[in-house]
Structure 1
Amino acid sequence: MIYRYTVLSALLASASATPLALKRANLTTAQSWKDVPLSSDLTYVPCFDNFTCANLEVPLDYDNPDVGTTNIAFIKYEALNQPAKGDAIFNPGGPGGSPMNFFWDPSSYGLLRGLLGDDWNIVGMDPRGVNNSGPNLDCFDGHPAIRDFYEIQAFSDIDPRSSVSISKYFETSGAYGTWCSQTLNNTANYANTPATARDMLQYAEKLAESQGEPSEEAVVNYYGASYGTALGTTFAQMFPERVGKFIIDAVQDVEDYYFGSWSKNLLQADEAVNAFFSYCAEAGPNCALYRNGTTADDIKQRLDTVLKNMEDSPVTVADPNFVQFPVVLTHMDLRGLILTALYNPPVYWTSLATVISLLEERNGTLLVQFAEKGKMPVAECDNPPDTYSTIDPKLLIACNDNNKRFTVTEESLAALFMGQRDLSEYVGDVWPIVIVPQCRNLRFASPPNQVFNKFEVKETKSPILFIDNTIDPVTSSYDQMSAFFPGSGILLQDAVGHGVIVTTSNCTSSYVQKYLETLELPPPDTVCETDFDPFAAPAAGAEKRSVVPRTVPFSHRM
């Protein structure tokens, strides 16, 4: 998801750009990805001070090498305890998310290391079309400022409760597909999840060869969260005999993902909002919505009133101390922030409560900052924008994966919005924006051997460990997905949020690390206690992060 904040980018982005070139003091290491040599063997070189990097050349189509090749970027953080027990590939979500963002941030990486322990090399892999990996999926290649400006203008201020707004959104998204079809070349056909899964196997085989071991016996060790669960379960379906230590966190309904409607994500969204009400009431003065005798029902009624008032009468911000020009905020801006806050309560819930309390007084000065509205767009000559955006890769990969299974019409789009609103009264309006409609006019299609058709019951070489919070607002399908893999296990922790590292738990980390050591699964129905306290005053300098970058509001990032 550094990161942009607009409602639109909230609705759009899964991660902001990772710089392709970083300023580092140690000039003996690679300073940008262009300094990392491309090789068909797995050749690691020192990079960015604390890491090693590899640029692996792979076929665009493993069954048809004549199509050409592309590069896949890897960055490795060495295990603290050497020799390491192996390399574990990490995917933080998306599609379109880059693990490089996680690695640059010591706090987020520290949480990841706390979960997985100190015995494994953690390998960030940019999937096909993402950040430093090819093929190119930037529909505005060479013009990042135009791209960012367009994405904000095209998909902001959408109100699915207005038929006129839905019609405009339908046509705008179709135009986006037409544009990308003209600006990208046919290599975009090969950016999809099955191809990326095959790239993971290529990595494992090349690693085995570099260590003098037989490539045909290599297995993939993996930790994937959110969309990373789609990538991980796809790999396990395609190559069940090559599954090593596999941890699937924040488990989405991957069948629904491949269908293309993304309609089964919000199963626990309102349950998460209700938890916000309860924790706020229990937090007392640490929650800005608390008053003497406040109950969870009181807070719910107050939020409902604010949303209804903003739907009927939007809030304006015209204070030059906060905006560069007057801004109108609608209920969609607040719903977007609510969705973001559900991803990582320890980071966002305190601010969300303050935003709501100010809006009760028709004061939108804090919400406008989260929405990053009221600011002039970045000019390339003044402040160069991020070179990489996750939005184009997210859309192209998701559209290739769904393979036109979901028929997008204006009527089906309106029905999708209504269905999501039935699932979640608070964030259902926000979820369908920027995924489904863009696919209808794209001309790209993956070759038949890179189209994933259906899930089947598969026995894997090693048991898979599925993990999640008891309340995950956007992915809670661990029961459904684990059923495809007999012998797999489920570990839950008592918390609210997207991905288990929204909080800390010695119980969770001990079970995860025991699994990585011995493949031992937790006992059935295990639920770990945690340190989850979303309204606790943070210690000085403390920061908690989820599997999604904390500064990317309003998006359904996955």
Structure 2
Amino acid sequence: MVLNELVKVHSTVGTANNIIGFDPRGVNNSGPDLSCVTGGQETYGLYSGFDTTLDVTDKRSYSEIYAKAAAFGEFCTKAHSSANDTAKYANTIATAGDMLRYIESLAKSHGQDPKKSQLWYYGGSYGSVLGTTYASLFPDRVGRLIVDGIADAEDYYRGEWSAGLVDADEAFRYFFQTCFDAGRNGTCPFWAESPAAIERRLDAIIEDITLHPIPFFNEVPAIFTVTDLKMFLAQVPYDPLLLYINLAHTLVQLEQRNPNPLAVALGLGKGSSDCITEKKPAFFEPPRFIACTDANGRYNLSAYDAWVGHANRMAKQSKYMGEWWATITGVQCHKLDIRAPDTQVFNGYPNASHTSNPLLFISTTVDPVTPLRAAEKTVKRFGGAGLLVQNSVGHVSISAHSNCTSAWVQHYLATGQLPPNGTRCEPDSVPFKN
């Protein structure tokens, strides 16, 4: 987050404190190495064709995703099967312990009592699971702890991931509405005579590409399919201010059956290479390893029918994101047989009746993958905690800057005092207007 979103983070938390970003265990620069391929972590692109979304209109899609997940799980289980392998230590409890050891080491280096050190923390999305897990394990070692974009940690540790999409389609309805509000001659090129008409145009594009994939060429000839489109759509509501205008232009092009700009941006139609020439972090393995290890086999999709049922439930939960969401965890764990030691298995859900300082929870009104109701549920599990709601659409509050939110965050950091109950902040900008 710090590497990619430093400007946004700074504008929210202010400049009174040093900001230290870190990679959780197994991610990017932090060990253990979770790569399943001999030669290190530069595995970006080696799983081409594995990171795809479901197409509920195609029965083969279910079986292909299930088989690919099995291949991934069996391959990585074998790669990390030695008795001395450390992949099992990449989990959320272990990373929470790492944070405690860091603040103790920092205190010691300053001549302070390590056992009195307290964590100052800001984390969003998965970072909300990590932050609340830390507060649950070490409630007397909380200095300032802000969690933003609150995942339902009970759902997360259960391995089900079925509570995230309840507001996802509302985020798309916000696109339809703001595009319409921009006006016929405004800044949204996908404008139509009503929000419902804009939705119908999008649905018509999806239907057209489902029935008739679009041929194109980049470095090599290729086809643009409905799963390519849905992979793109699933990312858009994370950051409406940045991506809604891109979506509008892209849909105009796709309506004319021109996929080239989007296909190039997605890296489609590229030629193959026998060697990796660009070092990139391994984005495929670590999220799956950590989520599956944290779930500890609680959600069993080893039976094909169980996977199909799960996928259909997710597809019904969200028209535009459910098919993608169904594939990112759950099924990926059904053949990945790597388990954390018993001391690093989190049972139940994060909670603490009292913490040394209160936690501040933040949520947007409409978050496509970590809904407001998850924040409302979780804040009740931490004594003295408070919830700040930002009236915007997007994943975590920094997706739409708000001077009001920033002021309350910086006040909390400076004083430890929470916003009054029921505090809501307005965003400074909305899509297509400013």
Q: TM-score range by the shorter chain?
A: over 0.9
Q: 1:378: Cα distance to partner?
A: 4.6
Equivalent residue runs for 1:465-484 within 5 Å: 465-476=360-371, 477-484=374-381
Distance in 2 separating the partners of 1:112 and 1:425: 31
Residue aligned with 2:252, SS: helix
Aligned match of 2:178: 279
* TM-score (normalizing by structure 1): 0.73
- What is the identity, as a one-letter code, of the residue corresponding to 1:130? V
User: What is the aligned partner in structure 1 of residue 190 from structure 2?
Assistant: 289
1:326 to 214, 221, 229: 221
Q: State the alpha-carbon separation in 1 of the partners of residues 289 and 423 from structure 2.
A: 38
Of 109, 118, 122, the match for 1:210: 109
Contact 2:53 2:231 (C-alpha < 8 Å) held by counterparts: no
User: Which deviations, in whole Å up to 9, do the C-alpha atoms of 1:435-487 show, x marking residues without a partner?
Assistant: 22232222311111100001245311111000121111110111011111021
TM-score of the superposition, structure 2-length normalised?
A: 0.94
Distance in 1 separating the partners of 2:52 and 2:168: 22
Residue pairs, 1:296-315, within 5 angstroms: 296-315=195-214
Cα deviation, residue 161, structure 1: 3.3
Aligned counterpart, 1:242: 141
Matches of 1:139 and 1:235, distance apart in 2: 29
- 1:262 aligned residue: 161
The secondary structure found in structure 1 opposite 2:20 is strand
Letter in 1 for 2:190: L
Which of 150, 154, 162 aligns to 2:58? It is 162
In the alignment, the residues of structure 2 paired with residue 524 and residue 469 of structure 1 have an alpha-carbon distance, to the nearest angstrom, of 16
Structure 1 residue 250: deviation in Å? 0.6
Q: Indicate yes or no: 2:131 matched with 1:232.
A: yes
Q: Choose which of 72, 82, 87 in structure 2 pairs with 1:176.
A: 72
Letter in 1 for 2:262: L
> What is the CA distance between 1:508 and its match in structure 2?
0.6
Summarize the Cα distance change of 1:155–1:114 in structure 2 as closer, same or farther, 3 Å threshold. Answer: closer
Pick one of 350, 369, 383 that aligns with 1:486. Answer: 383
Q: Which amino acid aligns with 1:513?
A: Q
SS state at 1:317 partner:
strand
Residue 121 of structure 1 corresponds to which residue in structure 2? Answer: 18
Structure 2 residue corresponding to 1:388, chosen from 271, 277, 281: 281
The reply to whether residue 454 of structure 1 matches residue 351 of structure 2 is no
Residues 69-104 of structure 1 deviation map (CA, whole Å, 9 limit, x = unaligned): xxxxxxxxxxxxxxxxxxxxxxx3xxxxxx4x33xx
2:371 matches 1:371:
no
Going from structure 1 to structure 2, the CA distance change for 1:377 and 1:434 (only over 3 Å counts) comes to farther
Q: How many residues align?
A: 425
How far apart are residue 316 of structure 1 and its match?
Answer: 2.2
Measured after TM superposition, the shift of residue 332 of structure 1 is 2.0
- Name the counterpart of 1:18: none
Q: Say whether the 8 Å CA contact 2:44–2:283 is kept in structure 1.
A: no
2:295 alignment partner in structure 1: 402
| Partners of 2:139 and 2:352 within 8 A in 1 | no
Given that residues 165 and 317 in structure 2 are in contact (C-alpha distance below 8 angstroms), is that contact kept between their aligned partners in structure 1?
yes
Structure-2 separation of matches of 1:436 and 1:481: 22
Q: How many angstroms does 1:159 deviate by?
A: 2.5
Check 1:479–1:215 CA distance in 2 against 1; reply closer, same or farther (3 A cut). Answer: same
Distance in 1 (alpha carbons) for counterparts of 2:317 and 2:6: 33
What is the identity, as a one-letter code, of the residue corresponding to 2:271? M
Q: Distance in 2 between matches of 1:190 and 1:259?
A: 18
What's the secondary structure of 1:150's corresponding residue? coil
2:152 is aligned with 1:152: no
Deviation at 1:190, TM superposition (A): 0.8
**CA distance in 2 between partners of 1:390 and 1:458 (Å):** 36
Q: 1:433 aligns with which of 323, 327, 342?
A: 327
* Structure 1 counterpart SS, 2:32: coil
**Structure 2 unmatched ranges of 5 or more:** none
Residue aligned with 2:47, SS: helix
Stretch moving more, 192-201 or 440-449? 440-449
The 1:378/1:229 distance shift into structure 2, 3 A limit, reads: farther
Report if the CA contact (8 A) 2:125-2:151 is conserved: yes
CA distance in 2, matches of 1:421, 1:157: 11
2:118 paired residue number: 219
Q: Percent identity?
A: 36
The alignment partner of 1:189 has SS state of helix
**Separation of aligned partners in 1, 2:154 and 2:285:** 22
CA distance in 2, matches of 1:370, 1:261: 31
Paired amino acid for 1:517: A
Q: Letter of the aligned partner of 1:231 in structure 2? A: L
Secondary structure of residue in 1 paired with 2:258: coil
Matched residues in 1 for 2:225 and 2:395: separation? 26
Measure the CA separation in 2 of the matches of 1:130 and 1:148. Answer: 13
Decide whether the 8 Å contact of 2:44 with 2:281 is kept in 1: no
Q: Which moved more, 1:271-280 or 1:346-355?
A: 346-355
Q: In 2, are the aligned partners of 1:144 and 1:385 still within 8 Å (CA)? A: no
Partner SS, residue 103 of structure 2? helix
Considering fraction of residues, name the structure with more helix: 2
Give the Cα–Cα distance (whole angstroms) in 2 for the partners of residues 486 and 377 of structure 1. 54
Find the aligned partners of 2:37 and 2:391 in 1 and give their Cα distance.
43
Q: Is the 8 A contact 2:52 2:324 kept in 1?
A: no
Alignment counterpart, residue 526 of structure 1, candidates 407, 423, 428: 423
Deviation for aligned residue 1:215: 1.3
